Each structure stands twice: as structure tokens, then as C-alpha cells.
């Protein structure tokens, strides 16, 4: 059997009717060399039984999966890019390939592509993805998943044998096609497009479908809602999910880099990783994208950017409900974000929150020390995991001298006032916490991994890094907010599983 019994196809997108997508043909690549296969997620969604030939047919040649979409769909959307509205967007180098249900939680899943060829929305682009871009996306999704961030999953990567020319890296460079698994392709820009075009009937249709597919708790409230109450509750739910996502980015020290409205979706899932970075040290002005000259999407401005994007979504939904009501639905974004940032940070420290002003005080002390000392961002969370339970470990840390300085005393006292999570204390006995440094994903590490591939076609550094990330994630996964993380599945050379 090409698929297992847990494979549950549900091609829902075409229920929207015409006007939301364009049927397209995938590119035909001269070569198809499998470089990454996410076996653990393939098994979860019933595709783990595909053999190598079947995997290539579906995820490089894009033959339809059984009982699924019969042809790929390039989705239509607009969006603000660096706060300038662009009506010429849409899936320009990707498409929706299949939809299925997650057999564990029943949520609708999408399999989408990146680098799969030109579409009506490609403009002057070639519709391709560099191999380096594919490798970077694998690393981003693996690290974020391990740190408990709600993220898309890199599902498959094939090298495609073409030579691409890009202005931002040495050219020609190798090419790839990527498949990602996500819970939604309904972007903020999907609503913006319909609002700008004045297609209110389609806007309502998209809203109803989004609620049915992704917000079942609101589905019963759709009918007869002349005052827009369901729309308001929907926006409130999107705001809550977006606040949680942004808080998890901040706790992870992650900078998305390109927080345009077309790069945010209504389910609050992180996706589409271009010029991202992880913080080397705490720096609110740290910017990921070399072209973000004004620092619009800097680390410390991510909450502001997410709220601004939510306001644009509210304006688009203003075709369905009074705008002043919708903007009020966003009033709690700030408190939601800060509460979740505190919670995520304490979770990363392995500490039980007090649930009062002491948590905010700890955050203030932590930020002040990190800014002044320039201790490695990941290093501090590693050294003081479990609070006082790690005092001896911290004394042997590469940063021990800074922890012995008077500037650290107020933060140390605050950390020692917290009770460690019992699970955190158990984890401290693991080999991971017996080491001196945490698993990180800084830009120099990414460049080292890519250099091995580019210069020697050596994929072993990538495979080792994925294994290290997954081991860390399996150790730290502890509650329902974290993505399901399992131990490494067996992998084959060049196909880190």
C-alpha cells in the first residue's frame, strides 16, 4: 500500500469555488535527489509507508496523492510588504498540493510547496528555490519545533539539478524543491485581497470556510450574526493565537525577518523562513534581513509588527462587521502577548510561574542582565535551567565569571525564589545538561553546514545538527503547547529523517 490506514485525505480548498486559486502545472526538474525526508511526520499523517520511488513521484514530480487534489493550486492573496501594499502577490513559486487530517488531533493539514515552478503570480521570478534556502528552512523548522514554537514542518526536500542565479548569494547556485506541512494557507493577505477587490461575497465565503476548517468552536455561531459577533470573536481568537506565536518567538530568541501580512496566517502558525536569525545575545534592535535597513522587523519590534498586521486584517474584515468593534477585539493583544512571553520564558527556564508581579520583575531583571552582560542568549537559559537547582552547573559554565559579578546578584536572587518544575530537575541529570553548551542555531553554524554541502557535498553536518536539535526537543517537550516531538527516526545518508 502506498499510504497507511492513518492517511485521511480531505481536499477542502475547492469548496470555496472559483476566484481563490489557479490550477497550475509543476516544473519538470532535470534531477530529483532526495535530501531530506521528515519520516516522523510522514508516519503521523499516514505517508510513512511510501517507498523512495513513491516519495519522489508525489513530492518531486507531484503526482496527486490518493483521493486528494487532482492538480496543484496556486493561491491568490495580496499583502503589505514592509508596510507597503502589494496587489501583485500570490503563490509565485509554490502551490497547495494536498490536504489531509491529522489523525491525532483532527486538524486540517496542508501540504504546500516552495520552489515548484512558475505560476500566474511569479511576476519576474523563476519560481525556483535555492538549495541553500531549502537547507535553511529545514533548520529553522526543526529548531523552532524543538523549542515549542507552533511552526510549519519541512516535510521533504529534493535537489533538482538546476543552476540558479541570485543577487544575494554566490551564483550560480544549486536548486531544490521543498514541501512543507502546515495547518493553514489562509493568510491575512487572503482576506486583504478580497476586501480591496470589493468581493464581499467571496470574503464572506472565505470567512465561513476558515471558521469551519480551523475554528470549530466558533462554527455554530456563524448564522444570523448581523452584528458581526462571530467575526469579532474570530478576530479575537486570531489575535490570541498571534500573541502566543510572537511570545514564543521572543522566548526562543527568534527573529522572523519578514513579517509581512502575507507571511502571517489565521491559525497563528509560523512559516515561510527566508532571512531569519536566532539571537547570539539579547538585542532588541537585532535585525535578520540584510535589506531591512530601518529595522522594521527587528527582534524587539516583532510584537508591534504582529499587532499592525492584525489591524490590517481587521480592516479587511470590516466588510463583514463594524470596524470599531473589530479593532476593540485587538485591545488585549498587548496583555496577552506579555503574559505569554513571561510564561514561555519561565517554561524555557524550567521554573513554575508565580502568576503575579514577581514574574514581570523576573523578566525585567533577566532583560537588564542580558543586555548589560552580553551573555549568550541560549547559554543563560541552559546554565540556569531549573533556577537554583543549576547553581553548581552555572559555576562551571563558560560564562561563570559574569554570573559571579555583582550585576548578576539581583537576577540570581529572583531565580532562586522560584520553584523548579519537577520535570526540569529530572532533566538536569540528562547528558544534554551535563555538557557545557546548549544546542544553538546561530548564523555561523548555518553557514558552516551549508559550506560543507556546497564545497564537498557533505551532508553529515546537517544530519548531526538535526539529530542534536531533535534530541534537545525530545528532552524539553513537556506540555500541550509544545509540538509533538519524538526521538529520531532512522535516517539514510543524505535524507536526514
pLDDT digits (tens, 9 = 90+) for 304-356: 999 999 999 999 999 999 999 999 999 999 999 999 999 999 999 999 999 99
Sign of CA dihedral 362, 363, 364, 369: positive
Would the pLDDT of 484 be above 60?
Answer: no
pLDDT for the residue numbered 483: 36
Q: What is the pLDDT of residues 176-232, one digit of tens each?
A: 999 999 999 999 999 999 999 999 999 999 999 999 999 998 976 655 554 468 999
pLDDT at residue 162, as a whole number: 97
Q: How far apart are CA 94 and CA 73, in angstroms?
A: 9
H helix intervals, 318-418 = 323-328, 333-348, 357-373, 377-383, 391-395, 400-403, 409-416
Torsion sign over Cα 8, 127, 62, 74: positive
Cα separation, 159 vs 36, in Å, equals 9
Residue ranges of domains in the chain: 13-185, 188-331, 350-434
Indicate which residue of 91, 102, 262, 336 is catalytic: 262
User: Taking residues 417-427, what's their average pLDDT?
Assistant: 96
User: What is the per-residue pLDDT across 348-386, written as a single tens digit (0 to 9) for each?
Assistant: 999 999 999 999 999 999 999 999 999 999 999 999 999
Tell whether the model's pLDDT for residue 425 goes beyond 60: yes
What is d(CA 164, CA 184) in angstroms, rounded to the nearest whole number?
Answer: 29
Mean pLDDT of the chain: 94
- pTM over the 0.85 mark: yes
CB atoms within 10 A of CB 24: 23
| Strand extents, DSSP E, 194-298 | 254-255, 277-278
**Phi-psi group of 353: left, alpha or beta (phi > 0 → left; psi -120 to 50 → alpha; rest → beta):** beta
Chain centroid offset of residue 482 CA: 13
Q: What is the pLDDT of residues 27-60, one digit of tens each?
A: 999 999 999 999 999 999 999 999 999 999 999 9
Whole-number Å distance between alpha carbons of 155 and 166? 25
The closest alpha carbon to 282, from 380, 362, 350, 358, belongs to 380
CB atoms within 10 A of CB 493: 8
- What is the average pLDDT across 17-25? 98
Q: Does the pLDDT of residue 300 top 90, yes or no?
A: yes
- 313-339 burial, b for 16+ CB within 10 Å, e for fewer? bbbbbbbbbeeebbbebbeebeebbbb
123 Cβ partners below 8 Å, 6+ apart? 88, 92
- 3-state class of 184 per DSSP? coil
Q: Is 276 left (phi over 0), alpha (psi -120 to 50) or beta?
A: beta
Please, what's the largest Cα pairwise distance for the chain?
A: 66
Q: According to the model, what pLDDT value does residue 477 have?
A: 82
Q: Is 262 labeled as catalytic in the residue annotation?
A: yes
Alpha-carbon span 102 to 306, nearest angstrom: 27
- Give per-residue pLDDT as tens, 108-138: 999 999 999 999 999 999 999 999 999 999 9
Amino acid at each position: 500500500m502506498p499510504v497507511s490506514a492513518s492517511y485521511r485525505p480531505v481536499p477542502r480548498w475547492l469548496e470555496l469555488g472559483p476566484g481563490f486559486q489557479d490550477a497550475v502545472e509543476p516544473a519538470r526538474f532535470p534531477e530529483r535527489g532526495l535530501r531530506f525526508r521528515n519520516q516522523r511526520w510522514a508516519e503521523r499523517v499516514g505517508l510513512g509507508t511510501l517507498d523512495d520511488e513513491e516519495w519522489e513521484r508525489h513530492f518531486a514530480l507531484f503526482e496527486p496523492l490518493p483521493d486528494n487534489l487532482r492538480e496543484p493550486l496556486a493561491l491568490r492573496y495580496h499583502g503589505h510588504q514592509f508596510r507597503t501594499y502589494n496587489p501583485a502577490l500570490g503563490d509565485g513559486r509554490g502551490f497547495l498540493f494536498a490536504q489531509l487530517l491529522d489523525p491525532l488531533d483532527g486538524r486540517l493539514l496542508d501540504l504546500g510547496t516552495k520552489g515548484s515552478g512558475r505560476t500566474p503570480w511569479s511576476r519576474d521570478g523563476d519560481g525556483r528555490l535555492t538549495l541553500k534556502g531549502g537547507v535553511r528552512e529545514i533548520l529553522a523548522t526543526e529548531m523552532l519545533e524543538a523549542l515549542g514554537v507552533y511552526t510549519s514542518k519541512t516535510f521533504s526536500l529534493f535537489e533538482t539539478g538546476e543552476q540558479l542565479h541570485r543577487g544575494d548569494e554566490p551564483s550560480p547556485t544549486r536548486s531544490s524543491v521543498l514541501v512543507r506541512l502546515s495547518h493553514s494557507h489562509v493568510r491575512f493577505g487572503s482576506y486583504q485581497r478580497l476586501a480591496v477587490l470589493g468581493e464581499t461575497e467571496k470574503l464572506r465565503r472565505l470567512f465561513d470556510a476558515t471558521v469551519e476548517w480551523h475554528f470549530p468552536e466558533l462554527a455554530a455561531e456563524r448564522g444570523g450574526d448581523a452584528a458581526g459577533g462571530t467575526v469579532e470573536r474570530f478576530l479575537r481568537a486570531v489575535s490570541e493565537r498571534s500573541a502566543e506565536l510572537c511570545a514564543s518567538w521572543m522566548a526562543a530568541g527568534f527573529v522572523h525577518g519578514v513579517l509581512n501580512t502575507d507571511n502571517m496566517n489565521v491559525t497563528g502558525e509560523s512559516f515561510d523562513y527566508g532571512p531569519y536569525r536566532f539571537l547570539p545575545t539579547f538585542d532588541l534592535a537585532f535585525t535578520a534581513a540584510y535589506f531591512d535597513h530601518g529595522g522594521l522587523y527587528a527582534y524587539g519590534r516583532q510584537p508591534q509588527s504582529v499587532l499592525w498586521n492584525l489591524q490590517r486584517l481587521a480592516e479587511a474584515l470590516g466588510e463583514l462587521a463594524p470596524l470599531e468593534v473589530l479593532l476593540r477585539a485587538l485591545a488585549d493583544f498587548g496583555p496577552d502577548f506579555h503574559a505569554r512571553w513571561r510564561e514561555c520564558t519561565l517554561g524555557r527556564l524550567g521554573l513554575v510561574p508565580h502568576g503575579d508581579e514577581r514574574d514581570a520583575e523576573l523578566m525585567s531583571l533577566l532583560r537588564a542582565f542580558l543586555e548589560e552582560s552580553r551573555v549568550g542568549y541560549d547559554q543563560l537559559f541552559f546554565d540556569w535551567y531549573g533556577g537554583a537547582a543549576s547553581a553548581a552547573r552555572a559555576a562551571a559554565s563558560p560564562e561563570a565569571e559574569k554570573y559571579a559579578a555583582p550585576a548578576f546578584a539581583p537576577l540570581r536572587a529572583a531565580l532562586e525564589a522560584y520553584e523548579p518544575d519537577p520535570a526540569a530537575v529530572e532533566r538536569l541529570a540528562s547528558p544534554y545538561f551535563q555538557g557545557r553548551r546548549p544546542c544553538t542555531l546561530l548564523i555561523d553554524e548555518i553557514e558552516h553546514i551549508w559550506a560543507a554541502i556546497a564545497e564537498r557535498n557533505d551532508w553529515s553536518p546537517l544530519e548531526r545538527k538535526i539529530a542534536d536539535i531533535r534530541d534537545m526537543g525530545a528532552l524539553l517537550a513537556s506540555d500541550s503547547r509544545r509540538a509533538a516531538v519524538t526521538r529520531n527516526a532512522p535516517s539514510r545518508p543524505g535524507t536526514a529523517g
